[in-house]
Structure 1
Amino acid sequence: MDPLFVFDYVPVDGPDDAPHDGPRAPETDDAEQRFTTYWDVEKGCRGPDPVPEWVITDSGALDTELGVLKTGKEADVFLVDRTAPDGTGVVMAAKRYRDLDHRSFRRSAAYTEGRTARRTRDRRALSRKSEWGRAVAAGQWAVAEWDALCRYWSAGLPVPYPVQIDGTEILMELIEYDGTPAPRLSQVRPDVELLEEYFFQMRTAISVMAAQGVAHGDLSAYNILAAGERLVIIDLPQVIDLIANPNGPELLLRDCRNVCSWFQARGLDVDAQELFEEVTPV
């Protein structure tokens, strides 16, 4: 027999299969399991290259839900363990957007000016606020955050690596510190030296985003994670275009004010107006 047509067959248990002697995903009470959908989504729905080594792409991997990490105004974040058949595993963050009927985020109009749905049917559904329109709206926020994560990560900005998007769920890197999810910047009390380093990182990030013609739009110490000496920006669905959105300059200034006010409260001599003028594209 031609050796080119010979291969080793390795059975892979699914979520409902009985236990076997090989490695399995970790089990928890009432844990929900599914096969990974990494290769089921379109190429543009998988993270940008180069894919980090920790990302598991084995089609036989199992995703196990471990519980809620945090709840938010427009989405909830869950912990998901992805384990390959060989026992290699990684825990990721799964952000799942709610439909408009189950969200408390009420300031979306200021962020979505300048955005349009691609399909005529979707635009009509959005204007009528039909059931399909609510689904489209939730999807738009997920896609907006996905696009921002991919764009910023590729530009070298401090954001979680986006693993994949499937509908209104984004799987992304879980930012950790000392083996646990990293705290928000609002929860830490850095010394003076680290405080200065933190501000340098934020000033650089805001400047790079502005140079690309965008702003976070809702940046504050509550959506910045402190992973030791590194800051990571999260919660990016409302990223706004500084040119297409008439609220762009105002929201960029608010980002600068929110960030500077936190550093000022901890004794660092910074000025929001100066930061705004420094980062605003000429």
Structure 2
Amino acid sequence: MKTPKRLQALVDEGMMDEVLSQLMSGKEATVYVVRCGDQIRCAKMYKEAGQRSFKQAAAYQEGRTVKNSRQARAMQKGSKYGRKMQEEVWQNAEVDALYKLADAGVRVPKPHICFEGVLLMDLVSTEDGQVAPRLNDVNLSHAQALVYHEELIQQVVLMLCAGIVHGDLSEFNILLNEQGPVIIDLPQAVNAAGNMGAAAMLYRDVDNLKNYFSQFAPELALTQYGKEIWQLYVAGLLRPDTVLTGIVAEAKRPVDVHAVIEEIELARLEAEAELQRRLIQTN
């Protein structure tokens, strides 16, 4: 096929030899199957910010850092340079997460390089060399659903032990080959300790798994692995080998309404102070 202009830069730099086919086009990137010497890999070409249909980038960028204070200020002001920095942070988040998670034992594609908005990484394939199917495209038995669900919950635990929450985990970004599930699509991965929305994102990730697999194994619908995992993490008790039950005891003590109101008021005052600070910087 004809080589897209942005991928031609990788060919010119000798990072790959040719583009074989387009694999898929999603809300944030288009993925191509490419040849690098005698290796078949994939090239993930990120879409420009205006072309992405993923509209919640701000929530995922909280807690991400940049190289220096000038870049941080530019990102806050939304200048042209700042928007360029935001794109680099967005793209590099996936590369950083892939390396970190691979080191932690999470089953993710091996990254090779991110160059000019294109991430080059291993192609997840089956033993006969075919592109591995998405979980959503595979018919599962009751037993298979239980096994894959358990394996993926373990992957979620490994990710959180490495300080990362996927943030968009579902049956659509999990591939299956003979070794089991492989997790993909991580540009929205967040720092569990640095993002205030991390708990909610973890709950959603785990609930997505529960809702999908409970179609094949209905008993999974009553599990509460997300809450159990997060409670253990916050308490400093979560380990890669932690035995989970999927059961969370309900709190017996009454809600402290006064404390909740105080927290809301504190958050409001902090938001007002931050808005005032940004107005002063802008002026």
CA 1:256–1:210 in 2, change beyond 3 Å: closer, same or farther? same
Structure 2 partner of 1:67: 21
Structure 1 pair 30–151 and aligned structure 2 pair: CA distance change class (3 A): closer
Instruction: Choose from 269, 272, 280 the match for 2:219.
Output: 269
Alignment pair present for 1:259 and 2:213: no
Between the aligned partners of 1:93 and 1:272, the Cα distance in structure 2 is 38
For 2:220, give the aligned amino acid: V
Runs of 4+ in 1 over 3 A off after TM superposition: 28-33, 35-38
The percent identity for this pair of structures is 33
From 84, 109, 114, the counterpart of 1:135: 84
Instruction: Give 1:224's match in structure 2, choosing from 174, 179, 186.
Output: 174
Deviations 1:16-64 (CA, angstroms, capped at 9, x unpaired): xxxxxxxxxxxx56685825555xxxxxxxxxxxxxxxxxxxxxxx521
Q: In structure 2, what residue type is equivalent to 1:131?
A: K
1:91 and 2:40 are equivalent in the alignment: yes
Query: Does structure 1 retain, via aligned residues, the 8 Å contact 2:100–2:162?
Result: no
1:43-192 residue pairs with structure 2 within 5 A?
Answer: 62-83=16-37, 89-177=38-126, 178-192=128-142
- The CA deviation at 1:229 is 4.9
For residues 122 and 37 of structure 1, do their structure 2 counterparts lie closer, same or farther at Cα, with a shift above 3 Å needed?
farther
Give SS of 1:176's match.
coil
CA separation of 1:112 and 1:264: change in aligned 2, threshold 3 A: same
- Matched residues, number: 227
Distance 1:157 1:272 in 2: 26
Which segment is superposed worse, 124-133 or 97-106?
A: 124-133
Give the alignment's TM-score, normalised by structure 2: 0.74
Distance 1:210 1:75, change over 3 A: same
Contact 2:134 2:173 in 1 (8 A): yes
**CA shift at 1:130, angstroms?**
3.2
Report how far residue 225 of structure 1 moved: 0.6
Matched, 1:34 2:11: yes
Q: Give the corresponding residue for 2:162.
A: 212
Could you tell me how far apart the structure 2 residues matched to 1:236 and 1:272 are?
28
| Distance in 1 of aligned mates of 2:121 and 2:198 | 27
CA contact (8 A) 1:148 1:239 kept: yes
> Offset at 1:67?
3.0
The 2-side partners of 1:107 and 1:159 are apart by: 23
Query: Which one-letter code corresponds to 2:27 in the other structure?
Result: K
- Counterpart residue identity of residue 74, structure 1: E
**CA displacement, residues 253-273 of structure 1 (integer Å, 9 cap, x when unaligned):** 011110100001122421475
CA RMSD in angstroms, aligned pairs only: 2.1
Question: Which SS does the other structure have where 2:18 is aligned?
Answer: strand
**Runs of at least 5 residues in structure 2 that lack an aligned partner in the other structure:** 236-283
CA 1:277–1:128 in 2, change beyond 3 Å: closer, same or farther?
closer
Q: Which runs of 5+ in 1 are unaligned?
A: 1-27, 39-61, 84-88
Q: Secondary structure of 2:83's match? A: helix
Name the residue aligned to 2:189: 239
Cα distance in 2 between the residues matched to 1:134 and 1:77:
23
